[in-house]
Homo-oligomer: A and B are copies of this chain.
Amino acid sequence: MPSQTPERPGRFRRTALQPDEAQRILIERMSPLPEERVPLAEAWGRTLARSLTAPHPFPPFRRSAMDGYAVRAEDLRHATQEARVSLEVVESLPGGVAPTRSIGPGQASRIMTGGMMPEGADTVVMLEMTVSPATEDDALPVVTIGRSVPIGVNVADVGCEIQEGAEVLRAGQRIGAGESAILASCGNAEVGVRRRPRVGILSTGSELLDVSEPLEPAKIRNSNAPMLAAMVRESGADPVMLGQVPDDAPAARALIDAGLRECDLLLTSGGVSVGDYDVMVDVLSSPDVELLFNKIAMRPGSPTTAAVANGKTLVALSGNPGACFVGYHLFVAPALRVMLGQTPYAENRSFQAYLGAEFPKVNAYRRYIRAATDLKDGTVWVTPTGDDKSSLMTTIVNADCLIEIPPLKEGLAKGHLVTAWRL
C-alpha cells in the first residue's frame, strides 16, 4: 500500500529558487532549432531564422504616388487660374509601363499611382488639380493646369522606403502581415524559418478520465493536456499528445524516454507535489536524470520541476490547472521562444499597471495571479479574473496577464501600482 510508505528522503528537502533564477537556468539549456525553408504562403506565424537585408532599394524606381501628370515644376512656376499653362501630353504611363519618352519643356506624361516617373519630370500634378484633362479626341493631347507645384510633390524617390542593404527584418521576428509584405517585396518566394518545436504532453494522475469518457466517482476528465496543447500552439509549436504516465516507475520512464526521443521538449502535468504517490518524483530522481530545479519560491506552481534526460529537456508542471497555466507561461513559453530563435521574453512583456481590485492577502511567497488588462482613459488596470486558487480553470478563460505580487506583510489596496506579465 504505497500510501503508507514514509516520505522518501529529499522529498521535503527541496531548495526553492526564485522564479527568475529558475527561468535563467532553464533558458540557458535551450538552443534554437534548425532552419527550414517554407513557401511564403505558409510562413504566417513562423519565426524568421535569419535577418533580411534588402536586395534592392524600394521603391526600385522613381514612382508617382498619385494619378495625374508627370511634369517639370519649372513649367508651372507662373501658372495660376488666370494664367493657365497647357502642356503637351507625350505618353501615358499606367503602372508597370516603363517610360519611352523623357519630358522636355512644355511636355507632360499622364501617369497613374505607382507609375514609373519619366526622365525630365520632377513632380506630379494630381488629376483633380488639372483644369481639363487630355482626351483621346484631341489631335495633339494637351493638359491645362492652373497652379504651380513644388518639385518632388507626389513622387517617391528610389529607396525612399527601403535602402539597398538595409536590414529590413530581424532574425527571430514572428512573420505577420507586415513581415509577409516585406518578404514578398524583396522576392522571397521561400522563407527560412525555425522548425516548429515538437512538444510532447504527458499527464499523470489515476483520477484522470479521457475527455470522451463518462464521469466516475472520484474521477475527473483530463483538462490539462488539451489546455497545454492550446498553449503550445499559441507559442508557435506543435503539441504531440502522448497520453498518460502509467503508475509504475520503469514503465513511466520508458514512456518518457520514448517521448523525449520523439520530441524537442517534454511537458508533464501532475505528480510533482510533496507527498504525491506519483511516479514523476521517482523518475526524476534517477541518477541519469539531471535535475535543473524542483521547487520555486512562488504560488501557484511551487513544485514546478525541470530536468534534462537523454540530452532533452523535460518540464514537470503542477497538476492543478491554474498552477499548470502559470508554470507554462513562466518557464515553458520562454524556453520555446529560445527554441524558435526568439528572445526569451517578448518585448514589453512586463509592465506596470494599477491593481483593479483589493488584494487582501498576507503573502509569504511571490504570487502570480491570473488577471485581465483594461485600458481606461490612458491608464492601465489589471484585475484578477477571479479567485486565485491554483485548482481553478475558469479564471484562465479571460486572463491575458499575470499580476506579480511580491512577498508582503499586508494586502494591497485597489489602485496600487503592480508589475504584470503579458501572456
Docked Cα-Cα span, A5 to B134, in Å, equals 8
> Which chain B residue shows the least CB distance to A213?
B187
For A136-162 the 0/1 string (1 means CB < 8 A from B) is 101001000000000000001000011
Are the C-beta atoms of A211 and B233 separated by less than 8 Å?
A: no
Give a binary string over A89-101; 1 marks a CB under 8 Å from any B CB, 0 the rest.
Answer: 1001111111100
The interface residues of chain B lying within 8 Å CB-to-CB of A225 are 184
A97-B391 in contact (CB<8A) = no
The 0/1 profile, CB within 8 Å of B marked 1, for residues 375-398 of chain A is: 111111000000001011111111
Q: Are B133 and A6 in contact (CB under 8 A)?
A: yes
Chain A interface SS verdict (over half):
loop
A227 touches B61 (CB 8 A): no
B contact residues around A214 at 8 Å (CB): 187
**Is A182 touching B135 in the complex (CB atoms < 8 A)?**
no
Name the interface residues of A157-176: CB closer than 8 Å to any CB of B: 161-162, 168-169, 173, 175-176
Interface string of A263-276 (1 = CB under 8 A from B): 00000000001111
Contact of A161 among B215, B274, B392 (CB under 8 A): B392
Q: Which residues of B contact A208 (CB under 8 A)?
A: 95-96
Whether B399 contacts A178 by the Cβ 8 Å rule is yes
B182 touches A223 (CB 8 A): yes
Minimum Cβ distance to chain B for residue A396 (Å): 3
> Mind listing 9 A-B residue pairs with CB under 8 Å?
A41-B241, A94-B206, A127-B275, A161-B393, A161-B394, A182-B393, A184-B221, A184-B222, A185-B220
Binding site for B on A (CB under 8 A): 1, 3-7, 12, 40-41, 44-45, 56, 58-61, 65, 67-68, 89, 92-99, 110, 112-116, 127-128, 133-136, 138, 141, 156, 161-162, 168-169, 173, 175-189, 205-208, 210-231, 233-234, 239, 241, 273-277, 319-321, 325, 348, 351-354, 374-380, 389, 391-399, 417
Using A5-B136, A156-B391 as known contacts, list a sample of 5 further A-B pairs with CB atoms less than 8 Å apart, ordered by residue number in A.
Answer: A40-B211, A61-B217, A114-B319, A179-B397, A180-B229
